[in-house]
Amino acid sequence: MKSKSKSNLMRSVALHALLTPLAIIWLFPLWMMFIFSTMPDYGIFSPDIIMTPSTSFLDNVRNLQADTNFFGAMTISIVVAVIYTFLSVLLTSMAGWALARYRFLGQSVVIGIILGTITLPYSVVVIPQFIMVARNFHLANTWTALIVPPLFNSLGVLFMRQAFSMMPGELFDAARVEGVKEWQIFLRIALPLARPTMAALAIILFLASWNNYLWPLLVNSRPGMMTAPVALGTLIGLTKVSWGGIMAGAVMLTAPILIVFVLLQRHFIAGIAAGAIK
Amino acid sequence: MAELSLNNIVKRYGSLEIIHGANLDVKDGEFVVFVGPSGCGKSTLLRMIAGLEDITGGELKIGGRTVNDVEPADRGIAMVFQSYALYPHLTVEQNLSFGLRMNGNPKTDTDRRVKQASEILQITELMQRRPKQLSGGQRQRVAIGRAIVREPQIFLFDEPLSNLDAELRVQMRVEISRLHKKLRTTMIYVTHDQTEAMTLADKIVVLRSGNIEQIGAPLDLYDNPANQFVAGFVGSPKMNFLPAEIVEKQTGSITVALQNLREVRLSLPINATQVKTGQAVTLGVRPEHFLEAGRGDVDMTVDVDVAEHLGNTSYIYANIAGGEQIVIEREESRNTGNRDTLTVALSAAKTFLFDGAGNRLR
C-alpha cells in the first residue's frame, strides 16, 4: 500500500513538473494581453518589462468604443454566434440522423463527398464562396451573409452521424412498432440521447463563429455590420495603432469564452469523449 | 386476439435469400416459439411479422387481413426486444406511456392502461425510476409492460431472456408463461434456447438456414423429430448420433451395426425397400434412453471419460471404441465415476435412424 501511494505521488510530481512549464508558455500571452489592456499606449512601448496590471483599462475601452463602436460589433458577434450555433446544430443533427439511420441510394457517395469537403483547405473555398454570396446573390453586408454560408458544417454532420450510429437500433424499432412518427423519434428520442454530443458540438461551433475573422471581413466590411474581431482589426491603421484599445477588445472577446470553458470543461470533454468511447 | 398466417414468405437481401418460403398458421391465443441456431432466420422472420423488415415475397395475414404493406404500428402487434430497448432518458412511467402519448391517446385511457400493466407486472413502485436504476429483470418487466399497454392482438418476443442470468431467466420464463395464461393473447417468441422453447410453447417452429424444418407441439418434436437436425436440437443434453451401417435386410426390418463397435447389432422394424445393404446410416439415441445392461435389445460397453453427478441424475461422458463421445443419463449411479467402463443397453423402440442426408428413416 505504502509503496503504491509513493509511486502515485512520484507520478503526480513528474506530471506537474512537465505540465507547469507548458501551462506557463500557453498562459503567458494571455496574461500579457490582460496587462497591456490595462496600460496606456505609451506604457506599452516603454522599455521596462511590466508584469502587473495598471489602471487604464476603462480608458482603453472608452477609446475603443469611440473608434469602432465595439459594443455594437460585440452585439452583432453574439447574435450571429447564437443563431449560427442553433441553426448549425439543428441542421447537422438532421443530416447526421439521416445518414446514420436511413438507407438510401447513393448514401455512401453523399458521405464520401461530405468527408471530402473536410480535406479542402478553407482558402480554396473562400474565394468562390465570396463571389457567390457577394456578386451572384448580392448579400454582402447582411446578416444572411454572416450566418448562412458557414451553416452546413461537414465535421458537425459526421460528428452527429457518429453519435446517432452508436445508439442501439432496437430503440428506434421499438418506437416504430409503437406507432411513433419518424420526426417524433428524432425529436423525442434521438435528440435527447445525443445531448452531450450536441453540447460539445455547440461549443465548437460557437467558438468557430465567435473567432471567425476572414469570412466576416470579406462579406461584412461596412461599419455597423462588422463583427467584433473585424471591428478590432480596423484599429490597425497605417499610421497609428491603438494597442491598448486592441488589447482591451481582445480581453473582452476572450474572457467570456474562457470563463464558460472553465465552468463547462467537464461536459465539454465528456461530449468529445462520448464519440470515442463505446 | 388474432390468428396469424404466413404463406410462402420469402426474404431476400439483393440476391441473397434469407428465408426460403415459410408457411405457418398460428391459431388465436396460441404460444408459438421460433427456435433454431443463430443465423437461421428466426429473428428476421419475427421482424417481418412486426413490419420492421420488408417482405420480399409471399403473404402475411394477421386476423385474416393481409398486412404485407401495413405499417408496424397498424398491425396490432407489440414487440419485446432482446436489449429491452427502453428509452434511457424517460422514467418507467413515461416509457410505458410514450407510444400512446405520441399517438394522441386520451390521457385517462393511457393512465388506465399504464396502471393496469404496472399492476400485472408488479412494477408500481418503480414508476418514477429511470431504466439505468433498474435491475435486468425489472427492465425486462418494463419492456413487457410497454408491450401490454398497447393491448395488442399479437405479442412478439425477440430473445427477451438472453441478457438475464440463469436463475432470473427461469423466473421470467415462468412469468411470461403466467402472463400468457392470463391474457390469452397470441404470442410469438424467438429463442435459441430449446429449454425455453420446450417449456413455453404450445407449438414450436424449428428453423435452420431460412427453412422451417418442423412445426409441432414440444413433445411431438421430442418423440417424433422430422430429421436429424430437429432430433439434435430438441432435447437436453442433445441426442447422441452414432455412425452405423446396414448389414442385413429382412422383410419389414433391417439390422444395423455400429461402425466402431461392429458386434453391437440392432434390428429395427422399417420398410427395407428404401435402403440398401452396406448403406451408411446414423443411429440416434437420447442420453436418457440408454437402459441398464441386459434390459434392452443389445448391450454395449463404453469407456467412461467423465461423470457429472447432479444429485437426482448423472451424466456420463463416455467414448465408444472408435472415439465418438456419447452422453449417457443415469438416474441413480453415484459410483459410476469410479469405473473405467460401463455397459448399457440399446432398445430398438427408443432408437432413431437417419440416412446420410439426415432424413429420418425410423
Number of domains present in the structure of chain B: 2
Positive or negative torsion for Cα A224, A228, A232, A234: negative
Print the domain residue range for B176: 4-233
Both B49 and B135 in one domain: the answer is: yes
**In B, which residues are within 8 Å of A174 by CB distance?**
79, 81, 85, 146
Both B214 and B247 in one domain: the answer is: no
ipTM for the predicted complex comes to 0.83
Is the pLDDT assigned to residue B338 strictly greater than 70?
no
Q: Supply the pLDDT for residue B288.
A: 93
Phi, psi at A235, each rounded to 5°: -75, -15
**DSSP structural state of residue B239:** P
Residue (of B292, B194, B300, B295) closest to B242 by Cα position:
B300
Residue A23 forms part of a structural domain: no
Please state, in angstroms and as integers, the Cα–Cα distance from residue B49 to each residue in B66, B67, B77, B233, following that order.
11, 9, 9, 24
Per-residue pLDDT of B13-60, as tens digits, reads: 989 999 999 999 999 999 999 999 998 999 999 999 999 999 999 999
Residue B362 forms part of a structural domain: no
Q: Supply the pLDDT for residue B332.
A: 67
Q: Supply the pLDDT for residue B311.
A: 84
Both B194 and B83 in one domain: the answer is: yes
**In B, which residues are within 8 Å of A175 by CB distance?**
87, 98-99, 102
Residue A229 forms part of a structural domain: yes
Amino acid identity, position B292: E
Positive or negative torsion for Cα A66, A67, A68, A71: negative
pLDDT top residue among A45 and B64: B64
Residue A20 forms part of a structural domain: no
Both B200 and B215 in one domain: the answer is: yes
Amino acid identity, position B245: E
Alpha-carbon Rg for chain A in angstroms: 24
Contact A180 B102 (CB under 8 A): yes
**In B, which residues are within 8 Å of A170 by CB distance?**
81-83, 85
- The CATH number of the domain holding residue A190 is 1.10.3720.10
Per-residue pLDDT of B159-177, as tens digits, reads: 999 888 888 889 889 989 9
**DSSP structural state of residue B217:** -
Both B169 and B295 in one domain: the answer is: no
**In B, which residues are within 8 Å of A179 by CB distance?**
71-74, 99, 102-103
Both B187 and B131 in one domain: the answer is: yes
Both B23 and B101 in one domain: the answer is: yes
In chain B the beta strands, taken as DSSP E runs, fall at 4-13, 16-26, 31-35, 57-62, 65-66, 77-80, 154-158, 186-191, 203-208, 211-216, 240-250, 253-258, 261-268, 280-285, 291-292, 298-309, 314-319, 325-330, 341-346, 352-354
Residue A226 forms part of a structural domain: yes
Give the β-pairing of B325-330 and B203-208: unpaired
Q: Supply the pLDDT for residue A276.
A: 45
- The CATH number of the domain holding residue B273 is 2.40.50.100
Q: Which pLDDT band, with edges at 50, 70 and 90, does A240 fall under?
A: confident
* pTM of the predicted protein model: 0.82
Q: Cα(A231)–Cα(A217) distance, rounded to whole angstroms?
A: 9
- Note whether A96 and A102 are within 8 A (CB): no
Both B306 and B285 in one domain: the answer is: yes
Both B188 and B303 in one domain: the answer is: no
Measure B150 CA to nearest chain A CA, in Å: 8
Give the β-pairing of B211-216 and B203-208: antiparallel
Phi, psi at B148, each rounded to 5°: -65, -40
Q: Supply the pLDDT for residue A238.
A: 66
Print the domain residue range for A206: 69-234
| Domain end (from B233, B253, B277) | B233
Q: Cα(B308)–Cα(B316) distance, rounded to whole angstroms?
A: 6
Per-residue pLDDT of A176-216, as tens digits, reads: 999 999 999 999 999 999 988 898 899 889 989 999 999 99
Number of domains present in the structure of chain A: 1
Q: Which pLDDT band, with edges at 50, 70 and 90, does A272 fall under?
A: low
Residues of chain B whose C-beta is under 8 A from some C-beta in A? 47, 50-52, 71-74, 77-79, 81-83, 85, 87-89, 98-99, 102-103, 146, 150
Q: With a CB-CB cutoff of 8 Å, which residues 139-198 of chain A face chain B?
A: 168, 170-171, 173-181, 184, 188-189, 192-193
- The CATH number of the domain holding residue B211 is 3.40.50.300
Q: Cα(B277)–Cα(B258) distance, rounded to whole angstroms?
A: 14
Both B226 and B266 in one domain: the answer is: no
Residue B104 forms part of a structural domain: yes
CB neighbourhood size of B116 (10 A): 14
Per-residue pLDDT of A111-165, as tens digits, reads: 999 989 888 888 888 999 999 998 999 998 889 999 998 888 898 999 999 999 9
Residue A166: partners with Cβ closer than 8 Å, 6 or more residues away: A278
Both B221 and B262 in one domain: the answer is: no
Q: Cα(A234)–Cα(A221) distance, rounded to whole angstroms?
A: 10
Phi, psi at A218, each rounded to 5°: -70, -50
| A26-63 CB burial, b ≥16 within 10 A, e <16 | eeeeeeeebbbbbbbbebbeeeeeeeeeeebbebbbeb
Q: Cα(A164)–Cα(A247) distance, rounded to whole angstroms?
A: 42
Q: Is B357 exposed, middle or buried (0-12, 13-18, 19+ CB in 10 A)?
A: exposed
| Domain end (from B217, B233, B249) | B233
Contact B73 A174 (CB under 8 A): no
Please state, in angstroms and as integers, the Cα–Cα distance from residue A113 to each residue in A87, A120, A238, following that order.
22, 11, 43
Residue B283 forms part of a structural domain: yes
Residue A123 forms part of a structural domain: yes
Per-residue pLDDT of B241-294, as tens digits, reads: 999 999 988 888 899 999 888 888 899 888 777 788 889 999 999 999 999 888
Residue B11 forms part of a structural domain: yes
Q: Cα(B145)–Cα(A68) distance, rounded to whole angstroms?
A: 64
Both B59 and B83 in one domain: the answer is: yes
Measure A175 CA to nearest chain B CA, in Å: 7
Measure A189 CA to nearest chain B CA, in Å: 7
For B73, name the nearest residue in chain A, comparing CA atoms only: A179
| Domain end (from B180, B215, B233) | B233
